Amino acid sequence: VIPGWFSEISPMWPGEAHSLKVEKILFQGKSDYQNVMVFQSATYGKVLVLDGVIQLTERDECAYQEMITHLPLCSIPNPKKVLVIGGGDGGVLREVSRHASVEKIDICEIDKMVVDVSKQFFPDIAVGFEDPRVTLHIGDGVAFLKAAPEGTYDAVIVDSSDPIGPAQELFEKPFFESVARALRPGGVVCTQAESIWLHMHIIEDIVVNCRQVFKGSVNYAWTTVPTYPSGMIGFMLCSTEGPSVDFKHPVNPIDENDSQHAGRPLKFYNSEVGCSNTCLLSLTPKLPQRW
Ligand SMILES: NCCCN[C@H]1CC[C@H](N)CC1
């Protein structure tokens, strides 16, 4: 390890490690679920790390939070009730709040320390918790969904960490089945779905499960996030049976300067990006997972 640098070394991306120059460590703690750290980097702003894995940086979080939120919410005409699983930093909530049609936002985050640390060190991301439509539930997303009445939500966003640790169950079939049950007919789900350069085996399993569970459409979309392993990350975009959803052609364009967020315009997402970055997995090249 190079002194003064943070390297993201993990068995999930063997043989490689993205590094960031550290100016100052701002917080280190251990919650009931994971190690939590915040540091000031030299060129990406503040950085949130869980169990040694970069969750977000102030500089590039917009690409992830805007895409994971607006890809699904712009694909259906009038999203009203939205559920966020994970997302304890508040960034997805900030993006959901831009949609004036939304009346209710539930969020279920398992680790309260992530919420508290985000509010303390990332106020421009945790601002999402201030929206009066938001109800925060601290608990296990799997259990929350099992308890949700059938057909409750128009959209579910699964903003998870990686399938090692607390988020493992969020990548398995029973969880997708509980998401499908909690969605209304024609409802949509968008999940964090890893990198086509590193995790094709995980993605292929997720696609098999999603094709069995979601009888509408199943797409894989992606965006670039320089501080995530391989510099990109993908999303599974699925819809249940019912009114058809075409993720390539958003029907609900987001107003760039939506009054819900005066003074905080979008930094990354726009309708063009929204449709161009969505591809059927079959079109994704079979990339060498290691050389
Ligand atoms: N809202 C924070 C996003 C967390 N998403 C994941 C963090 C860990 C990465 N390896 C994959 C994305």
Whole-complex ipTM: 0.94
> Relative to the CA of 92, which ligand 1 atom is closest?
1
> Relative to the CA of 54, which ligand 1 atom is closest?
8
Residue among 161, 168, 223 to mutate when testing ligand 1 (max atoms within 8 A of CB): 161
Residue among 55, 129, 160, 190 to mutate when testing ligand 1 (max atoms within 8 A of CB): 55
**How many helical (H) and strand (E) elements, i.e. helices and strands, does the chain have?**
8, 13
Tens-binned pLDDT, residue by residue, of the chain (291 aa): 577 999 999 999 999 999 999 999 999 999 999 999 999 999 999 999 999 999 999 999 999 999 999 999 999 999 999 999 999 999 999 999 999 999 999 999 999 999 999 999 999 999 999 999 999 999 999 999 999 999 999 999 999 989 988 788 999 999 999 999 999 999 999 999 999 999 988 898 999 999 999 999 999 899 999 999 999 999 999 999 989 898 888 899 886 666 556 678 899 888 777 666 666 555 556 788 887
In sequence order, what DSSP letters do the residues of 224-247 get, joined into one string? E-TTSGGGEEEEEEEE-SSS---T
Instruction: Please tell me the distance between residue 243's alpha carbon and the centre of ligand 1 in angstroms.
Output: 31
Residues with a CB atom less than 6 Å from ligand 1: 53, 55-56, 64, 87, 89, 91, 159, 161-162, 192, 228-229, 233
Q: What is the pTM of this model?
A: 0.95
Q: Which residues pair with 35 in a beta bridge?
A: 30
Distances (CA, A) of 269 to 71, 163, 254, 275: 9, 26, 9, 10
End-to-end CA distance of the chain: 23
Quick one: which of 81, 129, 75, 124 has its CA closest to 103?
81
| Residue 60 appears among annotated catalytic residues | no
Ligand 1: residue whose CA is nearest its atom 1: 87
Instruction: Please tell me the distance between residue 161's alpha carbon and the centre of ligand 1 in angstroms.
Output: 5
Instruction: Please tell me the distance between residue 56's alpha carbon and the centre of ligand 1 in angstroms.
Output: 7
Helix (H, G, I), strand (E, B), or coil: what is residue 182? helix
Residue among 118, 157, 192, 225 to mutate when testing ligand 1 (max atoms within 8 A of CB): 192
Instruction: Please tell me the distance between residue 199's alpha carbon and the centre of ligand 1 in angstroms.
Output: 14
Find out whether 76 and 245 touch, Cβ atoms under 8 Å.
yes
> Relative to the CA of 87, which ligand 1 atom is closest?
1
Instruction: Please tell me the distance between residue 242's alpha carbon and the centre of ligand 1 in angstroms.
Output: 30
Q: Of residues 89, 106, 111, 159, which has the active-site annotation?
A: 159
